Amino acid sequence: MSERPDPRDRPPDPAGTQPKVDLESLLPEHVDAIDAEAFEERPPQLGPGEGMALVPGAPEPAGGVVAASVPRDTKHTPRFQFLFGALLAVGAVALAAAVAIALRPEPQTIDPAAGWSPWRPGSSTPITQIADHVSREYRLPNGHQLVLVTPAPLAFLGIPAQIALEEPIEQGGNISLLQGNGLIYRMCGLGSECSIHEGKASARRLLLLRREALELALYTFRYIDAVDQVVVFLPPAPGKKGATLLFQRDQLGPQLLRPLHASLAHRTPSVTGVESSPDASLVSRLTTDLYASSLTPGNSDPGGIFLVLRPMSEATSSGGSSSSGSGGSDLSDLSQALGGP
């Protein structure tokens, strides 16, 4: 009988002696399917200096320090971005407002040292000085003075008058008796019925006369406190009736609070340049109402006179009578009405 072999003499791994391992059993029992359209593998995010080892010849970071990776957005990032943008917007608005305030021109006010105007009348005969000063600034194209201006109190034949102002029909057509003290300026061009004896009547020349009347009123209200109304008789065109302008102190309040040259240009325009003057629109607006004037005695007071001012357009269309630029024709009519020579 043969002896059994020594187990120690057997091969280390005889065939069939090791247990077989099922490779499939190493996989998870259930693998969920992944939607390829809903999942996209994102490449790893590399910070500064990362991945340089993959590039042949790339230098190592200085000092062997690895740069920190860029922090990723959190759920609070949109809120901080919104607040940061709002702060930037508020800062931009504040900066724009500061610049606008810094560049805004200072309001024009009257310098006490310089006064309302470079020229001012003296204490003696200020009304006459105003008439002479203003009238000598206005010239015809040939250099002659445009008109002669003579001032007078609001009186005719020595009898004080009160202004009866008739409103246009579209404004109600009411008649108002103006209270306060009035002053008259008569413009005379030394021609027939005080018309201008040189050149031809035109819209530009009329605008220049209206500007002169406005300047007379502004000087009067500024330097003579007792005057409440200024009436200016404009010179008529040859063979026609003249128009009248009325200025009231409260209507020119804004122009009296700022220097004269803030309203009227420093340089007096000529007939040809009056329409292009910087103050042309203001002059046109403040002198747009032209009146026909007439005198009538008051019925209740034998010693009173009414200076009736009626809108020029209505007086012309109705064929009503009006005065000449100097008021001369009405003086004779009034004299007869009062029983004078």
Q: Mutual orientation of helices 126-135 and 203-223 as an angle, nearest 10°?
A: 150
Round the average pLDDT of the chain to a whole number and report it: 78
d(CA 126, CA 223): 8
- Between these two residues, 299 and 214, which has the higher pLDDT value? 214
Q: Which whole number is the average pLDDT over 57-81? A: 57
pLDDT at 27: 47
pLDDT at 331: 52
Which of 149-153, 220-224, 332-336 is the least confident region? 332-336
- Determine contact, residues 279/259, Cβ cutoff 8 Å: no
Task: Say whether pLDDT at 172 is over 70.
Answer: yes
List the one residue out of 339, 10, 327, 19 whose CA is nearest residue 150.
Answer: 327
Task: Say whether pLDDT at 46 is over 60.
Answer: no
d(CA 268, CA 239): 28
Element (H, E) at 262: none
Burial of 2-15, coded b for 16+ CB within 10 Å and e otherwise, reads: eeeeeeeeeeeeee
pLDDT at 87: 73
pLDDT digit string (tens) for 92-133?
A: 767 766 655 444 444 444 444 458 999 999 989 999 999 999
Give CA 216 to chain center in angstroms: 26
pLDDT digit string (tens) for 186-204?
A: 999 999 999 999 999 999 9
pLDDT digit string (tens) for 228-259?
A: 999 999 999 988 888 999 999 999 999 999 99
Element (H, E) at 28: none
Percent over 90 (pLDDT), the chain? 50
- Determine contact, residues 287/214, Cβ cutoff 8 Å: yes
- Determine contact, residues 232/187, Cβ cutoff 8 Å: yes
pLDDT at 171: 87
Task: Say whether pLDDT at 218 is over 50.
Answer: yes
pLDDT at 65: 47
Which positions ≥6 away from 258 have C-beta within 8 Å?
108, 109, 110
Task: Say whether pLDDT at 66 is over 50.
Answer: no
pLDDT digit string (tens) for 132-160?
A: 999 999 999 999 999 999 999 999 988 99
Task: Say whether pLDDT at 8 is over 70.
Answer: no
pLDDT band at 339 (very low <50, low <70, confident <90, very high): very low
pLDDT at 196: 95
pLDDT at 332: 53
Q: Name the pairing type of β-strands 229-233 and 244-248.
A: antiparallel
pLDDT at 49: 52
- Compute the half-sphere exposure of residue 288: CA atoms within 13 Å on the CB side of its CA: 7
Which residue bears the tokens 């607006």?
285
pLDDT digit string (tens) for 282-318?
A: 999 999 999 999 999 877 656 689 999 999 887 666 5
**3 state DSSP class of 190:** strand
- Determine contact, residues 195/236, Cβ cutoff 8 Å: yes
Which residue bears the tokens 């128009």?
243
How far lies 184's CA from each of 131, 247, 275, 321, in Å?
11, 11, 26, 20
Backbone region of residue 130 per phi and psi (left: phi > 0; alpha: psi in -120 to 50; beta: other values):
alpha
List the one residue out of 168, 113, 101, 112 whose CA is nearest residue 309.
Answer: 168
Task: Say whether pLDDT at 181 is over 90.
Answer: yes
What is the DSSP secondary-structure string of 64-120? GPPPPPPPPP-TTHHHHHHHHHHHHHHHHHHHHHHHHHHHSPPPP---TTT-SSS--
